[in-house]
Structures are given as C-alpha cells and as structure tokens.
Amino acid sequence: MTSPEERIFAGQIFDPSHPVLRDIKRKAHRLDMRYNALPENEAEQRTGILRELLGEIGEGSFIQGPVYLHYGTHTRIGKRFFGNFNLTIQDDAAVTIGDDCNFGPNVTIVTPLHPMVPQERQALYAPDGTPHCMCYAKPVIIGSGCWLGANVVVCPGVTIGDGCVIGAGSVVTRDVPPGCFAAGSPCRVIREISEADSLVHRPEILAEFSVKKPEQRDA
C-alpha cells in the first residue's frame, strides 16, 4: 500500500491529517519553536536543531530566525545559505535550495495545492465512500547563487535557475531561467543579469573594495 509520503512525492492527492504526516509536522513544529527560542550566540545548539529539522543543510549556512518549516525533512539546503527573519517553508512536497543563496526577510515557499472546486476542497471520497479533506503538492527548486528579496513568495511547482535575483514582493508563479532578474506579481523576467551589473561600474558604492582578490587582478 502506498504510504502518505509516497503519495505526496508521486504528485497524488493525500490527507494532510494522516497520523504519519501529522507526527512529522508536529515534530517539525516543536523544533521550529526550540530554534526560535534560542539566542543567536547559541550557534552550536541552533545548528544541531537545523540538522535534526531539515533533510539536509550545508556547511556555512545560517538562518536568522524565527523560522517556520512545516515538515522540515522535505527541505534540503546547500552550503553558505543565509535566510533572514521569518523564513517560511511549507514543504509538503520537496524543496531544494542550492549553494550560496541569500533570502531576505519574510520569504515564503509553498508547495501544497487544493482543489479549485469548493465541494472538492470540502471532501473527496475514498473507495469505501468515506469523505476526506485532501490536497496535493508540487516540488520547488531554487538553484545556486540566487538572491530572493524581502517578501518574495515562491508558489508550488516553480523552478528558479542558478544565479537569479527575484525582486522584493514578487509572487513567483512560473519558472525563472538561470541568470535573470525577475520581479512583480505575478513575477516575470525583466532582463538577464550581465557584466553591466557589476559593482566595478559603481565605484561610489564599491569604495576601497574590489570584486577580485589582489592576486587575480591584471598586472
């Protein structure tokens, strides 16, 4: 018989109140609360909670907190990730975040979907005729080197390619190709990110810093 999680990952409808799923979520919510109660200087304890909470988290990653993960174990985060205040991930389906990503405050990632027809949201019927309140979910993938601005919402089934910038307040309802700046509600690609965006061309911002290490500069 198909397990509740197998149904989720197969893209089939599932009962979010199933005892197996409820137990996973309750554990995640307890760990959320423990993490959010700890001060930032309790780095070792906070890291330990994230490793227990998440399916995977890479070295050098930091989440400011408070954080709100629904399942936790369905989310995998790469190396050197930074998540600002109020990161929310409703990870019924799998959520994958690459290396070197930065998320601004109040970023939300959602994977579950509900039937559009009201009566179907209220109940779908098992073979024995019993009614169940069901939903389904689609995975979200965010590539490496992405920056998501404050209050970005990523919707179910979306893939954001490597090296993208998503403008603050965007609602991302469809895939974004690699190397693009995209913004808006619904989010749309504004343009490709290019060399013209380099801080090399903004010396008033760069000040005494350089985009290259001294040994990388031309002689």
How many Cβ atoms sit within 10 Å of the Cβ of residue 145?
Answer: 19
210: its two tokens: 């350089």
DSSP 14: B
pTM: 0.94
pLDDT in tens, 75-117: 999 999 999 999 999 999 999 999 999 999 999 999 999 999 9
Which positions are catalytic? 114
Pairing of strands 56-57, 102-103: unpaired
pLDDT in tens, 40-84: 999 999 999 999 999 999 999 999 999 999 999 999 999 999 999
Pairing of strands 87-90, 108-110: parallel
162: its two tokens: 């490597």
**Domain boundaries in the chain?**
4-216
**CATH number for the segment(s) 4-216:** 2.160.10.10
User: How large is the C-alpha radius of gyration of the chain?
Assistant: 20
